[in-house]
Amino acid sequence: MNLQFLADGLITGSLIGLGAIGVTLTYSILRFSNFAHGDLMAWGAYAALTLLGLISALVGSVAPIGVLSFGWPLILAAGLSMALVGGMALVLDWLLFARLRAKGQAIIVVMASFGASMALRSLLEFIFTSKPAYFSRAIQMAMPVGLGIRVTPDQIVLLLVTLALVVAMHLFMERSQTGREMRAYSQNPALARVVGIDVARIVRATWMIGGGLACAAGVMVGILVQIRPLMGLDMLLPMFAAAILGGIGSIPGAVLAGLIIGLSESAAVQLVGAEWRAGVAFAILMGVLLIRPTGLFGVAER
Amino acid sequence: MTAILQVRDLVAGYEPGLDIVRGCSIRADTQEIVVILGPNGAGKSSLIKAIAGLVPVTGGQVLLDGQDITATPAHLMVRRGLAFVPQTDNIFPLLTVEENLRVAGGLPPRPESAPRIDPMFALFPDLARQRRLPAGSLSGGQRQMLAVARALIVHPRVLMLDEPSAGLSPKFVEMVFARLAEIRRSGLTIVLVEQNAKAALSIGDRAYVLVEGRAAHEGPARSLWDDPVIAELYLGQRRAS
- Is residue A69 very low, low, confident or very high in pLDDT (cuts 50, 70, 90)? confident
Burial readout B110-126 (b: 16 or more C-beta within 10 A, e: otherwise): eeebeebbeebbebbee
Distance, CA of B103 to CA of A131 (rounded, Å) = 49
A195 touching B, CB under 8 A? yes
What is the average per-residue pLDDT within B174-198?
A: 85
In the prediction, which pLDDT does B182 show?
84
The answer to whether A195 contacts B89, with C-beta atoms less than 8 Å apart, is no
Element at B158 (helix H, strand E): strand B158-162
What is the average per-residue pLDDT within B212-235?
A: 75
The answer to whether A195 contacts B93, with C-beta atoms less than 8 Å apart, is no
In the prediction, which pLDDT does A302 show?
40
What is the average per-residue pLDDT within B208-222?
A: 83
CA distance A208 to chain B (A): 21
A292 touching B, CB under 8 A? no
| Cβ neighbours of B102 in A, within 8 Å | 177, 180
Domain membership of residue A264 (yes or no) is: no
Domain membership of residue A302 (yes or no) is: no
pLDDT exceeds 50 at position B241: no
Q: Which of A233, A257, A19, A282 is nearest to A113 (CA)?
A: A233
In the prediction, which pLDDT does A216 show?
93
Q: Write down the ipTM of this complex.
A: 0.86
CA distance A118 to chain B (A): 36
Average pLDDT, chain A: 87
For residue B221, the tally of other CB atoms under 10 A from its CB is 20
In the prediction, which pLDDT does A160 show?
92
Q: Residues A84-138: pLDDT tens digits?
A: 999 999 999 898 888 888 887 888 888 888 888 899 999 988 998 888 888 887 7
Q: What percent of chain A clears pLDDT 70, i.e. is strictly above it?
A: 98
Q: Which of A282, A247, A250 is nearest to A265 (CA)?
A: A282
pLDDT exceeds 60 at position A273: yes
pLDDT exceeds 50 at position A80: yes
- Is residue A259 very low, low, confident or very high in pLDDT (cuts 50, 70, 90)? very high
Distance, CA of A29 to CA of A301 (rounded, Å) = 13
The contact set of B with A (CB < 8 A) is 52, 54, 73-79, 84, 86, 89-95, 99-100, 102-106, 109, 150-151, 154
User: Residue A237, Cα to own-chain centre: how many angstroms?
Assistant: 11
Alpha-carbon separation of residue B228 from A147, A163, B193, B221, B237 (angstroms): 88, 71, 21, 13, 10
In the prediction, which pLDDT does B66 show?
86
| Cβ neighbours of B104 in A, within 8 Å | 195-196
Domain membership of residue A140 (yes or no) is: yes
What is the domain range of residue A126? 27-231
What residues form DSSP beta bridges with B214?
Answer: B211
Element at A209 (helix H, strand E): helix A199-224
| Cβ neighbours of B152 in A, within 8 Å | none
For residue B149, the tally of other CB atoms under 10 A from its CB is 24
User: Which residue of B77, B85, B92, B112 is the best one to mutate when testing the A interface, meaning the one whose CB has the most A CBs within 10 A?
Assistant: B92
- Is residue A210 very low, low, confident or very high in pLDDT (cuts 50, 70, 90)? very high
- Give me the residue from B93, B104, B109 closest to A195, CB to CB: B104
Domain membership of residue A120 (yes or no) is: yes
Q: Pick the range with the lowest mean pLDDT from B89-98, B172-181, B223-232.
A: B223-232
* B231 compared with B94, residue with greater pLDDT: B94
DSSP letters along B61-107, please? EEEETTEE-TT--HHHHHHHTEEEE-SSS-S-TTSBHHHHHHTSTTP
pLDDT exceeds 80 at position A66: no
Domains, chain B: 3-233 (3.40.50.300)
Residues sharing a CB contact under 8 Å with residue B111, sequence separation 6 or more, in sequence order = none
A104 touching B, CB under 8 A? no
Query: What total of structural domains would you count in chain A?
Result: 1
In the prediction, which pLDDT does A209 show?
93
Domain membership of residue A270 (yes or no) is: no
Distance, CA of B149 to CA of B99 (rounded, Å) = 12
Q: What are the backbone angles phi and psi of residue A156, rounded to the nearest 5°?
A: -65, -45
| Cβ neighbours of A184 in B, within 8 Å | 92, 95, 99-100, 103
The answer to whether A183 contacts B92, with C-beta atoms less than 8 Å apart, is yes
pLDDT exceeds 80 at position B235: no
Domain membership of residue A14 (yes or no) is: no
* Nearest C-alpha in A relative to B147: A195
Q: Contact A47/A41 with Cβ under 8 angstroms?
A: no
Q: Residues A18-64: pLDDT tens digits?
A: 999 989 998 889 888 889 999 999 999 999 999 988 988 888 777 77
pLDDT exceeds 90 at position A154: no
Q: Which of B158, B172, B94, B166 is nearest to B126 (CA)?
A: B172
* Nearest C-alpha in B relative to A182: B103
Q: Contact B198/B241 with Cβ under 8 angstroms?
A: no
pLDDT exceeds 90 at position A83: yes
Q: What percent of chain A clears pLDDT 90, i.e. is strictly above it?
A: 34
- Give me the residue from A177, A191, A199 closest to B89, CB to CB: A191
CA distance A20 to chain B (A): 21
In the prediction, which pLDDT does A226 show?
87
* A293 compared with A49, residue with greater pLDDT: A49
Q: What percent of chain B clears pLDDT 90, i.e. is strictly above it?
A: 18
* A207 compared with B210, residue with greater pLDDT: A207
Alpha-carbon separation of residue B23 from B5, B43, B61, B99 (angstroms): 16, 11, 10, 39
pLDDT exceeds 90 at position B105: no
3-state secondary structure of B6: strand
CA distance B235 to chain A (A): 28
What angle separates helix A153-175 from helix A4-25, to the nearest 10 degrees?
A: 30
Domain membership of residue A282 (yes or no) is: no
| Cβ neighbours of B91 in A, within 8 Å | 191
Counting beta carbons within 10 angstroms of the beta carbon of residue A252, is it exposed (0 to 12), middle (13 to 18) or buried (19 or more)? middle
* Nearest C-alpha in A relative to B93: A187
Q: How many CA atoms lie within 13 A of B217 on its CB side?
A: 21
In the prediction, which pLDDT does A291 show?
82
Domain membership of residue A109 (yes or no) is: yes
Q: How many CB pairs under 8 A join A and B?
A: 68
How do beta strands B158-162 and B82-85 pair?
A: parallel
